[in-house]
Structure 1
Amino acid sequence: MIRKTTTNKSSPRNQHSNIWRNCTNFRTLKQIHALMIVNGFNSNQYALRELIYASAIAIPSAIHYAHQLFDKISEPDLFMWNTMLRGSAQSSKPSTTLPLYARMEKCCIKPDSYTFPFVLKACTRICWVTSGKIIHGKVVKYGFEWNKFTRNTLIYFHANCGEMRIARALFDDMAKRDVVAWSAMTAGYAKRGDLSMARRLFDEMPSKDLVSWNVMITGYVKQGEMESARELFDMVPKRDVVTWNAMISGYVLCREYQRAFEMHEEMRSAGEYPDEVTMLSLLSACADSGALDVGEKLNSSILEMDEGALSIVLGNALIDMYAKCGSIKKAVQVFRGMKEKDVTSWNSILAGLAFHGHPEECIILFEEMRRTKFVPNEITFTGVLVACSHAGKVDAGRGYFNLMKNEYKILPNIRHFGCMVDMLGRAGLVEEAFEFIDTMEIKPNGIIWRTLLGACKIHGNVELGRRANEALLKLEHDESGDYVLLSNIYALKGEWDGVEKVRKLMDDSGVKKEAGYSLIDSANQAFLHFLLDSKCQIPSGNRTIKSVKGKNMESVM
Structure 2
Amino acid sequence: MIRKSATSKSSFCHQSSSLGSHCASLRALKQMQACMIINGFNSSRRSALRELIFAAAIVVQSAIHYAHQVFAQIAEPDLFMWNTLLRGSAQSNKPQLAISLYAQMEKLQVQPDHFTFPFVLKACTRLSWTGMGCALHGKVTKHGFEWNKFARNTLIYFHSNCGEIRVARALFDCSAKRDVVAWSALTAGYARKGELHMARCLFDEMPVKDLVSWNVMITGYVKQGEMECARELFDAVPKRDVVTWNVMISGYVESGEHKKALEMYEEMKSSGENPDEVTLLSLLSACTNLGALDVGKKIHSSILEMGDGVLSVFLGNSLIDMYAKCGNMDKALDVFQCMRDRDVSSWNSIIVGLAFTGYIDKSISLFEEMRKTKFEPNEITFIGVLIACSRSGRIDEGRAYFNLMKDVHHLQPNVKHYGCMVDLLGRMGLLNEAFEFINTMDIEPNAIIWRTLLGACKIHGNVELGKQANAQLLRLRKDESGDYVLLSNIYASGGEWSGVEDVRNLMDSRGVKKERGFSLVEKKNDGAHFSVP
Matches within 5 A, 1:108-507: 113-507=114-508
- How far the C-alpha of 1:116 sits from its partner, in A, is 4.1
Q: What is the TM-score normalised by the length of structure 2?
A: 0.86
Deviates more, 1:294-303 or 1:217-226: 217-226
Q: 2:230 & 2:168 partners in 1: Cα distance?
A: 25
- How far the C-alpha of 1:251 sits from its partner, in A, is 1.6
Q: 2:31 & 2:425 partners in 1: Cα distance?
A: 57
Alignment partner of 2:20: what SS?
coil
Measured against aligned partners, the alpha-carbon deviations of 1:513-557 in whole angstroms (never above 9, x if no partner) come to 223355555427766644xxxxx4xxxxxxxxxxxx3xxxxxxxx
Count of paired positions: 510
Q: 1:516 & 1:175 partners in 2: Cα distance?
A: 64
Q: 2:60 & 2:263 partners in 1: Cα distance?
A: 33
CA contact (8 A) 2:2 2:37 kept: no
Structure 2, gaps ≥5 residues long: 5-16, 41-47
Cross-structure match for 2:20? 17
One-letter amino acid matched to 1:375: E
1:49 to 53, 77, 84: 53
- How far the C-alpha of 1:170 sits from its partner, in A, is 1.3
Q: 1:102 & 1:437 partners in 2: Cα distance?
A: 55
- How far the C-alpha of 1:503 sits from its partner, in A, is 1.1
Measured against aligned partners, the alpha-carbon deviations of 1:367-394 in whole angstroms (never above 9, x if no partner) come to 1111111122222222222222222222
Deviates more, 1:128-137 or 1:354-363: 128-137
Measured against aligned partners, the alpha-carbon deviations of 1:218-253 in whole angstroms (never above 9, x if no partner) come to 112222222222221122111111111111112222
- CA shift in 2, pair 1:492/1:150, >3 Å: farther
Deviates more, 1:247-256 or 1:67-76: 67-76
Q: 1:415 & 1:273 partners in 2: Cα distance?
A: 41
- How far the C-alpha of 1:501 sits from its partner, in A, is 0.9
- How far the C-alpha of 1:152 sits from its partner, in A, is 1.8
- CA shift in 2, pair 1:93/1:436, >3 Å: farther
One-letter amino acid matched to 1:202: F
Q: 1:482 & 1:515 partners in 2: Cα distance?
A: 15
Q: 1:351 & 1:41 partners in 2: Cα distance?
A: 53
Cross-structure match for 1:542? none
Alignment partner of 1:17: what SS?
helix
Q: 1:428 & 1:234 partners in 2: Cα distance?
A: 60
CA contact (8 A) 1:517 1:528 kept: no
- How far the C-alpha of 1:154 sits from its partner, in A, is 2.2
- CA shift in 2, pair 1:312/1:412, >3 Å: same
- CA shift in 2, pair 1:471/1:259, >3 Å: same
- How far the C-alpha of 1:147 sits from its partner, in A, is 3.4
- CA shift in 2, pair 1:413/1:237, >3 Å: same
- How far the C-alpha of 1:283 sits from its partner, in A, is 0.8
One-letter amino acid matched to 2:281: L
- CA shift in 2, pair 1:71/1:323, >3 Å: farther
Alignment partner of 2:215: what SS?
helix
CA contact (8 A) 1:519 1:526 kept: no
Deviates more, 1:521-530 or 1:239-248: 521-530
- CA shift in 2, pair 1:116/1:340, >3 Å: farther
Measured against aligned partners, the alpha-carbon deviations of 1:247-271 in whole angstroms (never above 9, x if no partner) come to 1112222222222112111111111
One-letter amino acid matched to 2:232: E
One-letter amino acid matched to 1:149: F
- CA shift in 2, pair 1:107/1:462, >3 Å: farther
Measured against aligned partners, the alpha-carbon deviations of 1:336-369 in whole angstroms (never above 9, x if no partner) come to 1111111111111112112111122111111111
One-letter amino acid matched to 1:333: D
Q: 1:253 & 1:92 partners in 2: Cα distance?
A: 26
Deviates more, 1:67-76 or 1:128-137: 67-76
CA contact (8 A) 2:118 2:154 kept: yes
Q: 2:183 & 2:52 partners in 1: Cα distance?
A: 38
Q: 1:373 & 1:474 partners in 2: Cα distance?
A: 45
Measured against aligned partners, the alpha-carbon deviations of 1:430-455 in whole angstroms (never above 9, x if no partner) come to 22222222222211111111112112
One-letter amino acid matched to 1:171: F
- CA shift in 2, pair 1:16/1:279, >3 Å: same
Q: 2:197 & 2:278 partners in 1: Cα distance?
A: 28
Q: 1:69 & 1:393 partners in 2: Cα distance?
A: 54
CA contact (8 A) 1:450 1:482 kept: yes
CA contact (8 A) 1:4 1:73 kept: no
One-letter amino acid matched to 2:362: E
Q: 2:119 & 2:520 partners in 1: Cα distance?
A: 50
- How far the C-alpha of 1:89 sits from its partner, in A, is 5.1
One-letter amino acid matched to 1:494: G
Deviates more, 1:391-400 or 1:289-298: 391-400
Q: 1:15 & 1:117 partners in 2: Cα distance?
A: 27
Cross-structure match for 2:10? none
Alignment partner of 2:305: what SS?
helix
One-letter amino acid matched to 1:424: L
One-letter amino acid matched to 1:230: R
Larger radius of gyration: 2
- CA shift in 2, pair 1:46/1:362, >3 Å: farther
- CA shift in 2, pair 1:99/1:74, >3 Å: closer
Deviates more, 1:312-321 or 1:511-520: 511-520
- How far the C-alpha of 1:91 sits from its partner, in A, is 5.8
- How far the C-alpha of 1:299 sits from its partner, in A, is 0.8
Q: What is the TM-score normalised by the length of structure 1?
A: 0.82
Structure 1, gaps ≥5 residues long: 7-13, 24-28, 531-535, 537-548, 550-557
CA contact (8 A) 1:5 1:45 kept: no
CA contact (8 A) 2:53 2:70 kept: no
